[in-house]
Copies of this chain bind each other. A is one copy, B any other.
Amino acid sequence: MFDLKSYLKSRADEVNAALETYLPEDGDYMGNLGEVMRYSVFPGGKRFRPILALAACEALGCDRALAMPAACSFELIHCFSLVHDDLPCMDNDVERRGKPTCHVAFGEDTALLAGDGLSIYAFEVAAQSAQKVSAEATVRVIRELAYASGHPGMVGGQILDMDAQHHGATKDSLLAVHRAKTGALIRGAARVGAIIAGANEDQLQAITEYAELVGLVFQITDDILDYEDDPDPISFPGLYGMEDSRRMAAEATERALACISQFGDSAEPLRALANYLLDRQS
């Protein structure tokens, strides 16, 4: 029986150790920028995106250490997006993960710049893949990162989300928002793990579809968990109802598992992760 809990703990520890080397306490920062960037990255959350990248790499039988820079680059982008999302002109959140948000702690101008710094640094870290894999694979990783996080992906999804908040959403537009705003980064993280592992076209396609489906499950279960406290009409339970939302999540999980059935034991972490996302209570 695969022990997902200790797997997630050990992988999160690895990711955190790598992030420490990329953003060391005594790094060469200007002013308080190092402190603020570190504040926005540590202690961090579940490290779901980088763990997914490592797990996709492992599923294809490759040493996950090769995928660590690419994996961390996706986490840095995720952290940047949280800093900018929390700003007064966006969600105006004052607390995240039990501490004051970045702009509350350091001021709005500094938080804006720390977010910019993390976003740009993500590409430097992704480029460091070239120390472990070919320059060609590194360029592919960088393009995946830009596509997943930029206007075709996460940033575009935030624009769609703002439109939906102002003008209302349909089932279709909710799916489009999700696919770009949160799905693209999850999809991209899994893809870079597979690319680093030298996936062929079929394997990359299987990992991509798996990740699109677990990304959907991630969002549906997130919406379900939030819905009891805050019944947002622009959410899966709000637009599809609770029962249909649960059924969609269960079906997507089944299909995700089918996508990676070809991979054997090395894909156990990916399977356990899919089942966990469906059943999670937090």
Residues of chain A having any CB pair with chain B under 8 Å:
28-34, 37, 84, 87-90, 107-110, 112-113, 115-117, 119-121, 123-124, 127, 130, 134-136, 138-139, 142-143, 145-147, 149-152, 155-160, 162-163, 180
Contact = CB atoms under 8 A, between A and B. Distances in A.
B120 A146 contact: yes
B124 A150 contact: yes
A33 B124 contact: no
Contacts of A115: 116
A151 B120 contact: yes
Nearest 3 CB-CB pairings of A with B: A30-B156, A135-B135, A120-B150
Nearest to A163: B31
A30 B159 contact: yes
Contact of A139 (B112, B138, B145): B138
A127 B143 contact: yes
A31 B160 contact: yes
18 contacts: A31-B160, A31-B162, A31-B163, A33-B151, A84-B112, A84-B116, A90-B112, A113-B159, A117-B151, A120-B151, A123-B123, A123-B146, A124-B147, A127-B139, A135-B135, A135-B138, A139-B139, A142-B142
Given A123-B146, A145-B123, A33 B156 contact: yes
- Protomer copies: 2
A108 B89 contact: yes
B146 A29 contact: no
A103 to B, nearest CB: 8
Contacts of A113: 84, 155, 158-159
A85 to B, nearest CB: 10
Contacts of A33: 151, 155-156, 159
Contacts of A134: 135
Contact of A149 (B34, B120, B180): B120
A90 B116 contact: no
A34 B31 CA distance: 34
A60 to B, nearest CB: 21
A117 B157 contact: no
Contacts of A31: 156, 159-160, 162-163
A105 to B, nearest CB: 15
Contacts of A117: 150-151, 155-156
B121 A119 contact: no
A157 to B, nearest CB: 7
A155 B87 contact: no
Contacts of A120: 119, 146, 149-151, 155
Given A109-B162, A117-B150, 15 more contacts: A30-B151, A30-B157, A30-B159, A31-B160, A33-B159, A116-B155, A120-B146, A120-B155, A123-B142, A123-B146, A124-B146, A127-B143, A130-B139, A135-B138, A142-B142
